[in-house]
Amino acid sequence: MSVKINPVYVRKLLAPLVLSMFAVGWYKFSEVYLVGSDKLALSNGNYAVYVVPTQMQGYLTATLWICYFLVFAGLSVFWYNTVKIVQGLEGVASSFGGVDVVSPVVIAVELDTFFYLFRGITPVDLRLIGYGVVIACLMWFWYALVKYVKVRTNG
Amino acid sequence: MVLQPVFSYGWPIVFGVFALSGFILGWSAQRGNYCFVNAMTSVFTVRSYERFGALLLLFGLSALGAGLLVGLGVIPASDQYYFNYFGGWYILVGSVIFGFGAALAGGCNLSMLYRAASGYVQNWIELFGMMIGTYIFAVGIWPFQLYTMEKGILSTTSGGYVEYLPYLIFHNVSDAGVLATTMLYSIPLIGLGIYLQARTKKKWKLMSTGNVSKGMMPSSPKVKALGRPAVPSPSTIKRMDLKGEAKDLLLLKKPYGTNLTTVILALDMLLVFIVGAGYTFNYLVITSSDGGRFFEYILFLFGQHLFLTTPWFNDSLPIVDTSTLMVVMLCVGAFFSSYLSGDFKIRIPREKKRLAIGFIGGILVGIGVRMALGCNVGLMWTNFAQIGYDGIIFIFGMLGGVYLAVKVQERL
């Protein structure tokens, strides 16, 4: 049996993820290749292309914050579309469906991935916040699961 | 002469605001389907001056805003003319090649980027062609062009205030001189833009009169009223229309009108003009130099550094500057607006020859913009805001190139 996937769903879900990954990739590229090339330009005495450290640092700082913004925006759009698609597939009759149970898990994974990706480039230790997110989302998950079972049982 | 920052904030703010400006540019241009080449093509194909008039409005408003900021003493005059490039034969030749290539490829440097970010594969190919074109220019044309620029052969031997119209007219850059030149320069552009748009609209109205029956006319909105007849006054209808229009624009249900986009883009130009003053090239830049820069970036991944080995790359382009983030965020802004409005889709042209034409057009765009020392945004639009004359040369050259491309395409 073959599963037919609607290409609109793929586009709606894949595009924001690609954007988030691009943002992280761009920052890493800047940090590794652009800074490296700048040092190379300086060592070769090519001052026409060399960028002074304050300017380069300004670029990296701005790129880092843009990276935060884009990852957050991309993942938010991804999750919003996921919820919309699942709601569409479930039908509108159910007021409390599977998507409400899965939501806390996805949000925990999203936030912890976010913290994991930026663990090396943020000045603060994000581990404690990550643990807090996992605990809060687990509690939310159990609450949602119980509610879901009740809704299903009682109709 | 060394520029001094006008406002005291650091480089992160400057880079951040340029990135924001790129985002606004990409978003607005995508929503307004703003394309310099289409504006010119429609002059020759359907005799419509609506979008070309909007271009003149854009140039006029940018010149007026920047000129007033300088004339009123908010920004020093040096920030307006400092990055005014050399002028010469290469601007005319380059703009003709650019106009021809861009019309063939199906988009100017601005629309190429926002369409590429909206999923148009032809514009991806055009972008790649532009990178190749930049390399061809760097190796084959730049050494000769640089020689003519240094020797002053059909070229000025410096830019800056030498090409600043207030200096050329009044032989100084006093506030009064700048204000007077700004008015002389920008008001006719704005006036001509409004006139051309009005003329086109009048033509459309005349064409539609007699062809449109009463049943096809738009109906009045239905309004519920308590204790009064449900007949709203014209001012109420107008207010409701505006409210509904604004709501539709905000919710991305409707594209932006040409003139709304024009005003947003002019304000965007003024934003970077103010924020970048004294720090960097304080105008909008699109891909003309960044086509080369991103080609160089791709080669970094393979351990190749063109700035060590290749002419133009070794003396014209810092490894990173504000335009880098501006271009990246332009694509992001265009992507977001197309994605959120439901326009985003990977589109491969049915006719495969369109891809080949896009690539060849892209190469010509790459060569043309580098010869002209900038594209339709980084040189033409920018130079109008700089109150120089290179933009005027560019607009006529580009019109010539677009006209040639229209004639060639009629035969293809």
Token output for B404: 């040639």
Both structure tokens of A69: 């913004």
Among candidate residues B243, B286, B262, B313, the one with its CA nearest the CA of residue B107: B286
Chain B nearest CA to A120, separation (Å) = 20
Residue A84 has pLDDT above 60, yes or no: yes
Reading phi first (left if > 0) and then psi (alpha if -120 to 50, else beta), residue B47 is in: left
Rounded percentage of chain B residues whose pLDDT exceeds 90: 69
Residue % of chain A over a pLDDT of 90: 31
Q: What is the pTM of this model?
A: 0.84
pLDDT given at position B330: 95
- What local confidence, expressed as pLDDT, does residue B233 receive? 64
Q: What is residue A7's predicted lDDT score, i.e. its pLDDT?
A: 75
Of A38, A63, A70, the CB nearest to B332: A70
Tokens representing A2? Answer: 């073959």
Confidence tier at B7 by pLDDT (50, 70, 90): confident
Residues in B closer than 8 angstroms to A16, CB to CB, are 339
Residue B231: pLDDT band (50, 70, 90) is low
Q: Is residue B155 classed as helix, strand or coil in its secondary structure?
A: strand
pLDDT at B213: 45
Query: What's the whole-number mean pLDDT along residues B215-220?
Result: 40
Q: Tell me phi and psi for residue B82, to 5 degrees.
A: -55, -40
pLDDT at A123: 63
Question: Above pLDDT 70, what percent of chain B?
Answer: 92
Closest CB to A49 among B297, B307, B332:
B307
The average confidence (pLDDT) of chain B is 88
Q: Which residues from B are below 8 Å from A62, CB to CB?
A: 11-12, 15-16, 19, 325
For the segment A147-155, the average pLDDT, to the nearest whole number, is: 77
**Which tokens belong to B346?**
């990977």
The full length of chain B comes to 412
**Structural contact between residues B190 and B61, judged by C-beta atoms closer than 8 angstroms:** yes
> Which residue's structure tokens are 């229209």?
B406
The predicted-structure confidence for B157-201, as pLDDT tens digits, reads as follows: 887 788 899 999 999 899 999 999 999 999 999 999 999 999 999
Cβ distance B317 to A63 less than 8 Å, yes or no, reads no
Q: Is the pLDDT of residue B229 over 60?
A: no
Complex ipTM: 0.86
Predicted confidence (pLDDT) at residue A76 exceeds the cutoff of 50: yes
3-state secondary structure B347-364: ECCCCCHHHHHHHHHHHH
Whether pLDDT at B134 is above 80: yes
Q: Name the residue among A34, A44, A46 with its Cβ closest to that of B320.
A: A34
| Position B155 confidence tier, pLDDT thresholds 50, 70, 90 | very high
Query: Which pLDDT does position B392 carry in this prediction?
Result: 95
